[in-house]
Structure 1
C-alpha cells in the first residue's frame, strides 16, 4: 500500500471495527493489525489518526471490562526504564494486545521470513508495536519472539535490522536479564548464527536496567569470552561484539570483572580492520575509566601478566593467523611500560617463538616488534629495571636475526 490515503482509510476501518462491530470480541486478532499498522506509519496524518483511534479503543475496552481489569488498574506500576520517547499505552490497550498475541504472532513471525522485503519490514514494524503494547505480558512469548529476531537480524535490508534493534530494545525493557540471557547466550557461538545473536543481545542490553543487568554480568562476560565468540576474525562479528561491549560499559561496573573484557578488546584491537581496531582501543580506554583508572596504562599493568601467562601456555606452532600470535603482537604494540615489568615471561615467549622449526613469519615479526620496543625513546622495556638482566637472553634465541636487532639498537 504505497498511498498514505489508502493506509489512512485502513486505519479508520480498523478503528471503527474495534469500536463498533457487535461481535468484535471474537475477532480482535484480525481487527487489531489493521489499526496497529498505522502507529508506525511514515505519514504523520496516518500515524496521528491511528494513535487517536487506538487510545479510544483502549479506553472503551477498559470501561467495558472494568471488573476484570480492576486489579491491574489498582496495581499498575510502569517499568523504571521505560523506552525513552515512548508513551506507555493504557491498561485497555495493553490488555487487548496481551489477549491477542497468541493468535497474531504465528502469522506475523512467518511474514518476517517472507521472500519480499516490504512484508518483512511491515511485519518487523508491527512486532515492535505489539511488544510495546504487550508490555510485561510479552514474557510468555519471549522464546518465539527472540527466535524470529535472530533470523531477522541477518536481513540484508538495513531498515529491517533497525526495526529488529527497536524490538530488542523494547524486549530488554520488559524482560529481566534472567529471562532473556538463557535464551540468547547459547546462540552466540560464531558457527551457529554468526553475528546475529550479538546484534539482538546488544539491543536487549541497551533496553535493560543496570540494577537487573549487573548481577548477571559474570555470566554474560563468561559467554562473550568463549573462544568461538571472542576470537573470531569476521568484521561483521567483531563490529557486533563491539556494540555489545560499548553498551555494557555504559551500563555496568567492571571493576571486579575487567580481565575477560580486556582480553576480548585487546584481541579485536590486534586482529581487526583499522576502523574496528580504533573502536576497540577506545573501548580499552573506556574500560580503564570504568574501573576507576586515570590512565589506560594502569589497565595494561593490571592485566598484562595474565595475558602473557595464557600466551605462554599455547606458545609453539603459531602461524600468522593464530589468535595467540595476534594477541602477542597487539600487546607488544599497545602495552608500553607494562611489558617492562614482565620481562621474564615475555622473554620465555619470544624465545619459544624464535627457535628453529617455528614459522619464519612469526619469528621475524616478533623480533621486529622487539626491535621497535628497544628503539622507543620512552624505553618501555626498561620500566621495570630488569632490561639489563634479560637483554642477553632476548637476543640469543635466533642468532643471525637477533644480532641484526642488536646492531640496529647499538
Structure 2
C-alpha cells in the first residue's frame, strides 16, 4: 500500500497530467498527438517510486487503451510505447490485465477491428509478450483471450509478427502448463498454416513454437503436426532442419505420452542422422544416444538379462560403423513392425527426395535391428526388389546397403529360402542384385554349406538367360563376383557352375560391355584356386563345359544360346581346345550338317576360319588336328560346298572355302593327308569356281593350285582334263586378281603333265 506521502505525490502527478488527458478527446489530431507525447514524456521521465507509478499508471490506463483505436497512427504508437513502459516498470502489472487484455484482444483478435499498421501490430504483440513475461501465472484467467490473439497473429501477413507471436506462445505455454493444455490444440492449425512460410526464420520460429505448444499442451496434437515436420526435413535451410531435430529430440525425451509416439517420432530423428550437414548429424546422434540411455534406465528391470548377458558384436560387423547402444537397439526392435510399412511406401514415392530419405532411414533401422530383421524379411525383400531399380542412384546405393545388412545379420538359410525360389520362378535383375548384396554382406562360414545350392540356381538356363539386357547380365556377374570375394578357397567346389554363368554372360549380347569384368572374375577364380593362368582353369573344366553345351547340338539354331556358348568356350580356351578335339569334332560334325540352320552354320564356320588362322595356337596346339582332318574335310567342309539356292547358302560356301584354304595354308596337313582328300575335294572345288562371290572364286583357284602342288605329278589325265576347262573360264573373269590366280594355277597344271598324258590327242 502507498503511504500518505506517496498518495499525495501520485495525486499531484495525476493533476498535472489531467490537462493532457482531457486533450485526448480533442477532435484535432495534432492536439491528441501533443497530449500523448507529453503523457509519454512525463510517465517515462519522472523519477517516481514504484507505488506512485502504480497509482499514476492505473489512472492513465483507460485513456491510453482508448487511444489504441485512435485514427492517427502516431497516436496509437505513442499509446503503445507508454503502455509498454508502464507494464515493464509497474510493481504489480497484473492489475492492468482486466483492462489491457480486452483492449489487445479487440485490436489483434477481433476480425472486424484489426490494427492496419503492421509495425503497430508487431509492437502490440511485443507488448503482449512483455505482459506474459512480467505477469506469468497471473495470466491464467485470460487463456481464451491469449489463444484468440495468437490464433490471429501467428497467421499475420507480417513475418515479424509471426515470429513474435511464436515467441509469445512459447512463453505463455511454459507459464501456465496446468491450464494451457486445455486450449493448446487451438494453436496447431495456425502454426501448421505458417510452417511453410517463405522466410526460413519464420519456419524456425513456428517449429520451435510447435514443439513447446505440444510439450506443455495436449500430446495428441503430435499426429496433426508429424507430416508437416517430416516435410521440413527436406527444407533447404540448415536452421529449419536443425530446429526439427531439436523439437523431435526433446519430445522423445520429455513428452508425457512419448511411449505412444515412439514409432512415429523415431523415424524423424533418425532421418536427421543422415543429414548432409555434419552438425545436424552429430546433434541427432547426441539426442538418440541420450534417448536410448534414458529408455534403458526407465526399463532396467525388463532389460536385466540383456544388460547382464549382452550379445557380443559380430566379428564381421560392418566396418567403420559403431554399434548403437542397447537402449537404442531395443527401441528399434520394439517399434520396427510399426515403422517398416511406412518406409516401404515412401521408398517408392513419386518425389525423389522422399525416396532418398526413406532409403537412408531404412539403412539406419536395419543397422539397429540386427538379427531382429529376420521376422520382417518378406516385407523388406519385396521393398528392396522395387527400390533397387530406382532411377535415382542414391536410392539404389542405399537399397544395396540394406541388402548387405540383411546378409550380415540374417542367417543365410533364411534369406536364401526367400530369394532363390523367387529368382527361379521369375528371374529379374532386382532379385539378382539383392542376392549378390546379401552374399557380400554375409560371411564365408555362413555361406559354406549353401554354395552348391546358390550356384545351381544361378547357373540354370532359365536364370542365366533370363534377360539379354546388360543390366541383368551385370547383376548375374555380381553374384559370381560376390561368391568369389567372400568365399575364396571354398569356391573350388563351385568352380564349374561359376564358369557356366561367366561363359553364358560372354555369350550374351551384353558381352561387349562386360567382357573385361568377366575376365577379371575368371582371373580371380584362378588366383584363389592357385592355378597358373586362365588356360589352366579352362583345362580343368573343358570336358565338362563342352559336354554341357553339346547336349542340345542336334537342335542348335542361330538363336540358340548354346551356339554362342560353344563359340565362347572354343575361342576363349585358346590352346586348351587342341586337347579336346575328341569332343569338339563330333559337335562340329553334327551342327554343321547341311540340314542344320543355315545362319547358325555360317556363324560357326566364321569362328572356325578364325581359329584355323592360328591353328597352332588353338585347334592344333597339341599337333593332333591331322588325326581328325580327313573326317573334318569329308564330313564337314565338303557337304557345305555343294550348291544350294539362296544368299545365305552362298555365304556358307564362301566361308567354307575360306576354312579349306586356311587349312591348306596352315601346313597342318602332310602331302599324304592332302592326297587322301583330293579325290573328294577337286570335283567340289571345280563347282565353286563358278560362284557369284569374287572371294570364293579367288580362293577356289588358290585351293586347286595347292592341290596340284601337293599331288606332284600324281594326278591322272582324266582329272587334269576336268580341271583345265574351268581354269580357262577364269582367265575371262572380271577380276584381275582372279585372272592372275587362274594363270598361276594353269602354270601348276602344266607341271602336273606326265608321260601318261596323251599329248597328241589333247594338243
TM-score (norm 2): 0.52
Q: Which has the higher contact order (CA 8 A, sep 6+)?
A: 1
In 2, Cα distance between the equivalents of 1:35 and 1:333?
58
Q: Is contact 1:320-1:362 (8 Å) kept?
A: yes
Say which of 616, 620, 626 aligns to 1:388.
626
In 2, Cα distance between the equivalents of 1:315 and 1:193?
25
Aligned residues: 409
Counterpart check, 1:257 vs 2:490: no
In 1, Cα distance between the equivalents of 2:549 and 2:451?
25
Say which of 183, 205, 219 aligns to 2:439.
205
The 5 A counterparts of 1:93-104 are: 93-104=328-339
What SS does the aligned partner of 1:277 have? helix
Say which of 551, 571, 588 aligns to 1:333.
571
In 2, Cα distance between the equivalents of 1:9 and 1:390?
83
Say which of 546, 553, 556 aligns to 1:315.
553
Quote how far apart the aligned CAs of 1:310 are.
2.2
> Residue 115 of structure 1 corresponds to which residue in structure 2?
350
Quote how far apart the aligned CAs of 1:21 are.
1.2
In 2, Cα distance between the equivalents of 1:101 and 1:230?
36
In 2, Cα distance between the equivalents of 1:380 and 1:262?
20
In 2, Cα distance between the equivalents of 1:104 and 1:262?
42
Q: Is contact 1:206-1:247 (8 Å) kept?
A: yes
Q: Could you say what the CA RMSD is over the residues aligned between the two structures, in angstroms?
A: 1.6
> Residue 63 of structure 1 corresponds to which residue in structure 2?
297
> Residue 609 of structure 2 corresponds to which residue in structure 1?
371
Say which of 254, 260, 263 aligns to 1:20.
254
Q: Is contact 1:127-1:167 (8 Å) kept?
A: yes
In 1, Cα distance between the equivalents of 2:369 and 2:516?
40
Quote how far apart the aligned CAs of 1:353 are.
1.6
| 1:47-93 deviations in Å (ceiling 9; x for gaps) | 11101110111111111112211211222211121111211000000
Q: Is contact 2:526-2:537 (8 Å) kept?
A: yes
Counterpart check, 1:194 vs 2:428: yes
Counterpart check, 1:162 vs 2:401: no
Q: Is contact 2:423-2:431 (8 Å) kept?
A: yes
Distance 1:193 1:381, change over 3 A: closer
Counterpart check, 1:2 vs 2:235: yes
Distance 1:361 1:380, change over 3 A: same
> Residue 353 of structure 1 corresponds to which residue in structure 2?
591
In 2, Cα distance between the equivalents of 1:99 and 1:45?
29
- More displaced 10-residue stretch of structure 1: 362-371 or 157-166: 362-371
> Residue 82 of structure 1 corresponds to which residue in structure 2?
317
> Residue 266 of structure 1 corresponds to which residue in structure 2?
503
Q: Is contact 2:349-2:355 (8 Å) kept?
A: yes
In 2, Cα distance between the equivalents of 1:122 and 1:192?
30
Counterpart check, 1:247 vs 2:482: yes
Which contiguous aligned blocks of 4+ residues in structure 1 show a shift greater than 3 angstroms?
Answer: 401-404
Say which of 242, 250, 263 aligns to 1:29.
263
In 2, Cα distance between the equivalents of 1:269 and 1:182?
29
| 1:3-60 deviations in Å (ceiling 9; x for gaps) | 2222211111111111111221122111211211111111111111101110111111
What SS does the aligned partner of 1:316 have? helix
The 5 A counterparts of 1:288-299 are: 288-299=526-537
Larger radius of gyration: 2
Counterpart check, 1:174 vs 2:409: yes
Q: Is contact 1:188-1:229 (8 Å) kept?
A: yes
> Residue 373 of structure 2 corresponds to which residue in structure 1?
138
Q: Is contact 2:470-2:513 (8 Å) kept?
A: no
Counterpart check, 1:282 vs 2:515: no
Quote how far apart the aligned CAs of 1:403 are.
4.7
- More displaced 10-residue stretch of structure 1: 201-210 or 310-319: 310-319
In 1, Cα distance between the equivalents of 2:268 and 2:580?
66
Q: Is contact 1:188-1:194 (8 Å) kept?
A: yes
In 1, Cα distance between the equivalents of 2:295 and 2:616?
73
| 5+ residue gaps, structure 2 | 1-233, 642-652, 666-763
Say which of 402, 405, 408 aligns to 2:659.
405
Q: Is contact 1:39-1:50 (8 Å) kept?
A: yes
| 1:352-400 deviations in Å (ceiling 9; x for gaps) | 1211122222212222222222221643222344311111222221312
| 1:102-144 deviations in Å (ceiling 9; x for gaps) | 1111122111222222222211111111111112222211221
Q: Is contact 1:184-1:197 (8 Å) kept?
A: yes
In 2, Cα distance between the equivalents of 1:293 and 1:74?
50
What SS does the aligned partner of 1:357 have? coil
What SS does the aligned partner of 2:493 have? coil
| 5+ residue gaps, structure 1 | none
